[in-house]
Homo-oligomer: A and B are copies of this chain.
Amino acid sequence: MPSQPNNQPLRESAQVDNASVQPMPGSKKVYVEGSRPDVRVPMREIQLSQTPTEFGGEENPSLRVYDTSGIYTDPEASIDLRRGLPALRAAWIEERGDTEILPKASAYYTQKRQDDPELTALRFDLSRQPRRAKKGANVSQMHYARRGIITPEMEYIAIRENMALAEARERGDVQHPGEAFGANIPEEITPEFVRSEVARGRAIIPCNINHPESEPMIIGRNFLVKINGNIGNSALGSSIEEEVAKLTWGTRWGADTVMDLSTGKHIHETREWILRNAPVPIGTVPIYQALEKVDGVAEDLTWEVFRDTLIEQAEQGVDYFTIHAGVLLRYVPLTAERVTGIVSRGGSIMAKWCLAHHKENFLYTHFDDICEIMKAYDVAFSLGDGLRPGSVADANDAAQFGELETLGELTHRAWKHDVQVMVEGPGHVPMQMIKENMDKQIEACGEAPFYTLGPLTTDIAPGYDHITSGIGAAMIGWYGCAMLCYVTPKEHLGLPNKDDVKTGIITYKIAAHAADLAKGHPGAQLRDNALSKARFEFRWEDQFNLGLDPDTARSFHDETLPKDSAKVAHFCSMCGPKFCSMRISQEVRDHVAAQGTEVVEEAVRMIDVEAEMQEKAREFREQGAELYQKV
């Protein structure tokens, strides 16, 4: 992890995390061009080797996979944290003609920070000024979608999501049918499909006009399941450079969005560095910073401080805001009997404010004012579940589901403004109670995308909550959840370091992919099939490179069989050279090839006969038991 050199100012010295800029092993960065040359959709193309001669000697086509890593994995790109990423969407935003460049940032707080000479050394050196919708204009993707406009962002997304499907069609690869629980994933993702899903609120494209560096992506249950990684320092530690390293590291391994949950010093400056170097949408919880501004005293929060914070962050380019507007005064007492009370930071801040003033949550009463800000920059709502359960004992209780009803009401209010919305969900929920969360959310929130934290399926494994929650995340993803917020091994215990971020991301990529398979997302199984074929054929390098984490797979393999020759060996360490089930399987194939397909047909016939006999035997046993009982 890079640490800040002693005397050099960050704006001059900031270094990219070296581990984040290596190209992915065995892969090539490719760009697929859309209808215009500046729609260039990045993909990772995994190069595969030939099948060994004894297994048939065929060519294996390279495989293109979804790629969130940005230009950091492109060896042709020039990377400089101090300059930030290229503003790939700038022309699209500009040519829509509905925005204007402000003379300077509108937020009082931003101005104060910019005028502070002590922050110069720390500050990202951004030359451009923020952009805002022209008076009366609405620049949200939902607004365009509802007027029938297909934006370049939508086309970009269609290419990005469709890629695996096109390959699947071309290859005729096998895939099991899914069980999609009401999701309806088309055979081909078209730009028009993207538009229609955004128009009806079933998907969102988080893309603030002040974050033109981000590569468009979509969150909705008829698309690939997405994952979010959290970063952010707290009062207790970690530097700006470390947080940026967590960002580039997290997106390298597959984070589709990143939330900056910083609560420590220099929140504003940290966020600027993150945004300027983020190829993915960035989310925040503005109330955290608002609280810092009133010295951590929740009851001192005001709408004015919060409003200024929203504008500050919107003009920096934050793509979605978690807003805990559903924590109503009357729900707060419902948490008193809980085992773990209120565990959401935002939820507890608002609960405290409501109680202290005995007034309704100002985020709720000012909700339309917030919508006005959101549509001027295209910031999407992530309606926070401030009353989510913090233990399985508190799952699906009155406080949680009461708040969910309110989130449903707010979803429809935001949609009246053509503002994009997703809705946050729990938390800690045992397996048998997960589906109810998804079903209730779909009904209450009119199919707005659901975005859950896990859920954790048991409380008894601190240190392993990426796993307790990965189980729940896979399941709720299958049931229709659109984005899964990762949980790291440090959950409940401490701040995640880079290793924890990676472990959390990979665990959640597994959950999201398992959900895509289960929903029957067209083409999702391509990568499984390619990897399994490589495994069967002892193409070790291909097996590593097709995996979610080639480095770890390779190093685990090398622990037992470190020699390079072992990576072309046609056996593995589990069985050793003499005793290999994969090799025997190949002999079965050769046998069947020699015998002809009649043996297979005969076998299938025999299974049917046998099943019939078994059924007869079962009937006989059951009748026998009955007869016996009657006697």
CB closest residue in chain B, given A355: B591
Closest to A457 in B: B514
The answer to whether B402 touches A514 (Cβ under 8 A) is no
Instruction: Tell which of A7-15, A83-91, A594-602 binds the partner.
Output: A594-602
Known contacts A402-B603, A561-B494, A585-B342, A391 near B532 by CB under 8 Å:
yes
Chain B residues with CB under 8 Å of A611's CB are 405
Q: Which of the residues B525, B532, B577, B599 comes within 8 Å of A333, measured between beta carbons?
A: B599
- Among A344, A460, A468, A556, max chain B CB count under 10 A is at A460
Give Cα distance in the complex from A82 to B364, angstroms. Answer: 71
Complex: A36 Cα to B587 Cα, angstroms:
58
In the complex, whether A414 has a CB less than 8 A from a CB of chain B is no
Partner of A343, one of B335, B406, B582: B582
Q: Which B residue's beta carbon lies closest to that of A344?
A: B581
User: Which residues of the other chain, B, contact A591 by a CB distance below 8 angstroms?
Assistant: 332-333, 336, 355
A471 within 8 A of B: yes
The 0/1 profile, CB within 8 Å of B marked 1, for residues 503-515 of chain A is: 0001101110111
B560 touches A236 (CB 8 A): yes
Which chain B residue has the least Cβ–Cβ distance from A297? Answer: B578
- Bound form: Cα–Cα A347–B122 in Å: 63
Stretch at the interface among A21-29, A185-193, A392-400: A392-400
Distance of A116 from chain B, by nearest CB (Å): 22
Question: Taking the complex as formed, is A339 at the interface, i.e. its CB lies under 8 A from any CB of chain B?
Answer: yes
Contact B581–A458 (Cβ < 8 Å): no
| Chain B positions within 8 Å of A577 at CB level | 235
* Stretch of A135-143, A150-158, A543-551 contacting B (4+ beta carbons < 8 Å): A543-551
A570 at the interface (CB under 8 A from B): no
Contact B392 A532 (CB under 8 A): yes
For A471, list chain B residues within 8 Å (CB): 470-471, 474-475, 510-511, 514
Which of B235, B431, B517 contacts A518 (CB under 8 A)?
B431
Q: Given the complex of chains A and B, what is the CA–CA distance between A174 and B352 in angstroms?
A: 27
Chain B contacts of A349 at CB under 8 A? Answer: 581, 584
- Known contacts A527-B460, A532-B393: A600-B333 contact under CB 8 Å: yes
How far in angstroms is the closest Cβ of chain B from A227?
14
Chain A contributes a number of interface residues (CB within 8 A of B) equal to: 146
- Chain B residues with CB below 8 A from A579, complex form: 235, 263, 291, 296, 345
User: Is A348 on the interface with B (CB-CB < 8 A)?
Assistant: yes
- Indicate if the CB atoms of B595 and A333 lie closer than 8 Å: yes
Q: Which of A179, A405, A588 has the most CB of B within 10 A?
A: A588
Q: How many angstroms between the C-alpha atoms of A337 and B536 in the bound complex? A: 13
Q: Flag whether A6 is at the interface (Cβ < 8 A).
A: no
Is residue A533 within 8 Å, beta carbon to beta carbon, of the partner chain? yes
Binds B, one of A106-114, A366-374, A485-493: A485-493
Counting CB contacts under 8 A, is A463 at the interface? yes
Min Cβ gap A513→B in Å is 5
A522 CA / B525 CA spacing, docked (Å): 39
Q: Are B574 and A506 in contact, CB atoms less than 8 angstroms apart? A: no
Chain B residue contacts of A66, Cβ below 8 A: none
Known: A336-B588, A528-B391, A604-B334. Is A553-B470 also a contact (CB below 8 A)? no
Q: At the interface, yes or no: A234 with Cβ under 8 Å from chain B?
A: yes
Contact of A513 among B234, B460, B607 (CB under 8 A): B460
Q: Which residues of B contact A291 (CB under 8 A)?
A: 579
Cα-based distance from A587 to B348 in the complex (angstroms): 10
Shortest beta-carbon distance from A188 to chain B in Å? 22
A:303-337 near B, CB below 8 Å: 330-337
Contact of A576 with B by CB under 8 A: yes
In the complex, what residue of chain B is closest to A334 when comparing beta carbons?
Answer: B603
> A125: which B residues are within 8 A, CB to CB?
none
Shortest CB–CB separation between residue A9 and chain B, in angstroms?
26
Q: How far apart are the CA atoms of A291 and B576 in the complex, in Å?
A: 13
* Bitwise interface map of A from 559 to 575 toward B, beta carbon under 8 Å scored 1, else 0: 11100000000001111
- In contact, A532 and B390 (Cβ under 8 angstroms): yes
Contacts of A340 on B, CB cut-off 8 Å? Answer: 532-533, 535-536, 582, 585
| Distance in Å: Cβ of A174 to nearest Cβ of chain B | 5
Output the nearest chain B residue to A509 by Cβ-Cβ distance. B461
CA of A529 to CA of B339, assembled, Å = 7
**A592 within 8 A of partner (CB):** yes
Residues from chain B with a CB closer than 8 A to the CB of A355 are 587-588, 591
B528 pairs with A610, CB closer than 8 A: no
A349 to B583: give the CA distance in the assembly, Å.
11
CA A339 to CA B343, docked complex, whole Å = 47
Contacts of A343 in B (CB 8 A): 581-582, 585
Q: Which of A430, A531, A556, A572 has the most CB of B within 10 A?
A: A430
Instruction: Report B-chain residues with C-beta under 8 Å of the C-beta of A589.
Output: 336, 341
A contact residues vs B (CB 8 Å cutoff): 174, 176, 178-179, 234-237, 263-264, 291, 296, 298, 330-345, 347-349, 351-352, 355, 390-393, 395, 398, 401-402, 405-406, 408-409, 412, 428, 430-433, 443-444, 446, 457-464, 466-468, 470-471, 474-475, 478, 489-490, 492-495, 497, 506-507, 509-511, 513-515, 517-520, 525, 527-529, 531-533, 535-536, 543-544, 546-549, 552-553, 556-557, 559-561, 572-579, 581-582, 584-589, 591-593, 595, 599-600, 602-604, 606-607, 610-611, 614, 617-618, 621
Known: A330-B607, A340-B536, A497-B559. 4 other contacts (CB 8 A): A330-B606, A352-B584, A355-B591, A471-B471
